[in-house]
Chains A and B, each alone.
Chain A
């Protein structure tokens, strides 16, 4: 790791020490009791310590996924920036996007200011592991007052002839009064076992606005632990929306800190799982100051023997008066074997706040099914329409129109059990997932 920057290197010893202490989180920890994380570390995995050559034009894959999306595209293959464009590019308006490792070399001051400032490697072993070995990932910098109508799209591709362990380390900085929309798509393009342990730090400065959408669509042999930290300053707005379609064991941690007055946050998620898939979401919204608003809405549809968990914590600190914090988690179980556990945790230390939470685990509405049938719609189609409608609330929050339409289509296909990639894909990836 000689080639990596001093910013990364300076934290490695402490992060390694922390990892030694904390280890891989297991079920004895309250926050991890629904998911057997150590299990996914048991099988042997390769890890590339430098970038491997890829033998074809990976950018062609992009057309498979969200074809109508006119975006600034960043490709990462196995956690490494893919050099089909400059490693760091300054866009009109001053945005800088590209490789994290390159950013560490070119903009050490920015990294000093933000890197590992929101992700706490002393609390979670997986964050410590990522920090100890961080090499590359995505870097997005939106300077003061800047904005761009085009969304930034990050396509994370996993592609390897052998089983692989991948750690992305991403940093998104949106400075004062700046605006950005980011779309992240995670895909696996070979039928290997992949394990991803990614950490994403997001800074949303005063009066800044960020929409962040993440699509998880890896093969079911792939496991992913994704930990994101969203740090918001005064009067900022952020939307963090995760759509999960395919993947084996998935654990999503989303930590939000509302650190400046008047900040508002929406943390959303929709997952559709079947077979033996497992999706576990942990959210932590920290209301550190007064007059902030947070809204969490997570929905899941579980088929076959799929399992899921939602554990949502809201902390309202004593000084955080006039907080509004809402949390909803609704789930539909399609079979008797599917299981979902949901647990809201509200810790409120201020007395002038509006907080609510609600969770449901149920079946499709029989009255609605009959209503649709009574108009000639088959029971299968009626169920599909209702499942689609159930997810619609989360999809409707996607502000990038072509992305929303494309995701709506992917969700529809997913519910129908159809393959969710287009047939023109040069890799014939449908054979591998």
Chain B
């Protein structure tokens, strides 16, 4: 589904990603771990099309199509979803209006008719129930005045609404207490399907107790320095990132 080949990216002339290779297939959950500044969030942003990063080398294919030339909105409509580490507050734009616009843009891209108002509201209701989002939250402006936990839950709610082929969750656990993290993880697990995939970016192993990955990759210095199954996450938790850094330097 996703094929990343020797991807390099820079910001303000400083190279952050220095040759990433990664294959993600349908039904798989990949965890990407790594110390601060290793390039985890940059990788997520580059895949979603954030233009403050310049791609300096490599290729990415999504469902066989070259991804890097696509506008961010086209990537989203094609089925890529980025769950933000810091969801943006947008006062004055209601969640309903935001989601309806997003859903209909996606449907237009897929040559489907616009969803009518009652179907849309039913979809909102169903997904709210699934994500245990209370109704008041959905009637407010996008993320405005939401707590940290509410913002992250709202990201997963949007993911549930849009049903992406590939979800990239950027430090969805950061700033969450254990209960909030469990709620978010439960929501994510409910969205696992044989025909979609997820890349879960996290600094800590604990999220992976709840969202169990098929593969774990360790990012350091802009490269994937080690890949393995979920036991790699435990090893990292035990030995710390210095272990990887030291090993890498040798």
Give the residue of A367, A376, A379, A388 whose beta carbon is less than 8 angstroms from that of B109.
A376
Knowing A381-B101, A381-B105, A389-B141, the reply to whether A373 touches B93 (Cβ < 8 A) is no
Q: Given the known A-B contacts A370-B50, A376-B106, are A393 and B158 also in contact in the complex, defined by CB atoms under 8 Å?
A: no
- Is B72 within 8 A of A370, CB to CB? yes
Give chain A residues whose Cβ lies under 8 Å from the Cβ of B158: 375
The answer for the CA separation of A147 and B100 in the assembled complex, in Å, is 41
Contact A392–B105 (Cβ < 8 Å) = no
Contacts of A386 in B (CB 8 A): 90, 93
Q: In the bound complex, do residue A378 and residue B73 qualify as a contact, i.e. CB atoms below 8 Å apart?
A: yes
Mark interface residues in A357-371 (1 if CB within 8 Å of B CB, else 0): 000000001111011
The number of residue pairs between A and B whose CB atoms lie closer than 8 Å in the complex comes to 73
| Main SS at interface, chain A | helix
**A328-373 contacts to B (CB < 8 Å):** 365-368, 370-373
CB of A374 closer than 8 Å to a CB of B: yes
Q: Tell whether, in the assembled complex, residue A368 and residue B72 are in contact, meaning their CB atoms are under 8 Å apart.
A: no
- B18 beta carbon closer than 8 Å to chain A: no
Is B88 close to A, CB under 8 A?
yes
Which residues of chain A are within 8 angstroms of B92 by Cβ–Cβ distance? Answer: 388-393
B198 to chain A, nearest CB (A): 16
When each residue 210-227 of chain B gets 1 if its CB lies under 8 Å from chain A and 0 otherwise, what string results?
A: 000000000000000000
The answer to whether the Cβ of B48 comes within 8 Å of any Cβ in the partner chain is yes
CB distance from B42 to the nearest CB of A (A): 14
Complex: how many Å from CA A4 to CA B143?
58
A372 to B51: give the CA distance in the assembly, Å.
Answer: 14
Query: Would you give the shortest CB distance from B232 to chain A, in whole angstroms?
Result: 29
User: Which partner residue on chain A sits nearest B143 by CB separation?
Assistant: A371
Q: Output the nearest chain A residue to B82 by Cβ-Cβ distance.
A: A374
B76 touches A375 (CB 8 A): yes
Let me know if A376 and B49 touch, CB within 8 A: no
Check if B98 sits within 8 Å of A374, measured CB to CB: no
CB pair A376–B76 under 8 Å, yes or no, is: yes
Check A377–B93 contact: CB distance below 8 A: no
Cross-chain contact of B77 among A376, A389, A392 (Cβ < 8 A): A376
**Distance of A371 Cα from B76 Cα, bound (Å):** 11
Residue A429 is within 8 A (CB to CB) of chain B in the complex: no
CB-based contact A374/B48 at 8 Å: yes
Q: With the chains together, A367 CA to B50 CA distance in Å?
A: 9
Cα-based distance from A370 to B45 in the complex (angstroms): 10
* A377→B73 contact, CB < 8 A: yes
A377 touches B87 (CB 8 A): no
A374 contacts which of B72, B91, B97, B141 (Cβ < 8 Å)? B72
**Complex Cα–Cα for A382 and B49 (A):** 15
Q: How far is the CA of A317 from the CA of B12 in the complex (A)?
A: 52
Query: Does B22 count as interface, using CB distance less than 8 angstroms?
Result: no
CA distance A377 to B50 in the complex (A): 14
Residues of B within 8 A of A371 (CB): 84, 87-88, 90
- CB of B91 within 8 A of CB of A392, answer yes
* Cβ 8 A contact of B93, one of A379, A385, A393: A385
Provide the bound-state CA to CA distance between A377 and B81, in Å.
Answer: 12
For window 59-91 of B, CB contacts with A under 8 Å fall at 71-73, 76-77, 81-82, 84, 87-88, 90-91
Known pairs A371-B84, A373-B76; A378 contacts B93 (CB<8 A): no
Residue of A nearest to B142 (CB): A371
User: CA–CA, A365 to B71, complex, Å?
Assistant: 18
Interface residues of B in 136-154 (CB under 8 A from A): 141
Residues of B near A379 (CB, < 8 A) are 71, 73
- Which one of B48, B73, B76, B98 lies within 8 Å of A385 (CB-CB)? B98
Pick the residue among B71, B90, B98 that contacts A373 (CB under 8 A): B71
Whether A389 contacts B91 by the Cβ 8 Å rule is yes
Closest to B73 in A: A373
Contact of B88 among A368, A381, A390 (CB under 8 A): A368
Tell me the complex Cα distance, A381–B98, Å.
Answer: 10
Whether a CB of chain A sits under 8 angstroms from the CB of B102 is yes
Tell me whether B105 and A376 are in contact (CB under 8 A). yes
Residues of B within 8 A of A374 (CB): 48-49, 72-73, 76, 81-82, 84
11 of the cross-chain contacts (CB-CB < 8 Å) are: A371-B84, A371-B88, A371-B90, A376-B76, A376-B105, A377-B102, A382-B73, A385-B98, A389-B93, A389-B141, A392-B92
Q: A374-B48, A386-B93 are in contact. List 16 more A-B contacts (CB 8 A).
A: A370-B50, A371-B87, A372-B98, A373-B49, A373-B71, A373-B73, A373-B76, A374-B49, A375-B158, A377-B76, A379-B73, A386-B90, A389-B91, A391-B92, A393-B91, A393-B92
Interface positions of B (Cβ within 8 A of A): 48-52, 71-73, 76-77, 81-82, 84, 87-88, 90-93, 97-98, 101-102, 105-106, 109, 141, 158, 162
> Which 6 A-B residue pairs are closest in the complex by CB-CB distance?
A389-B92, A392-B92, A376-B76, A373-B72, A375-B102, A371-B88
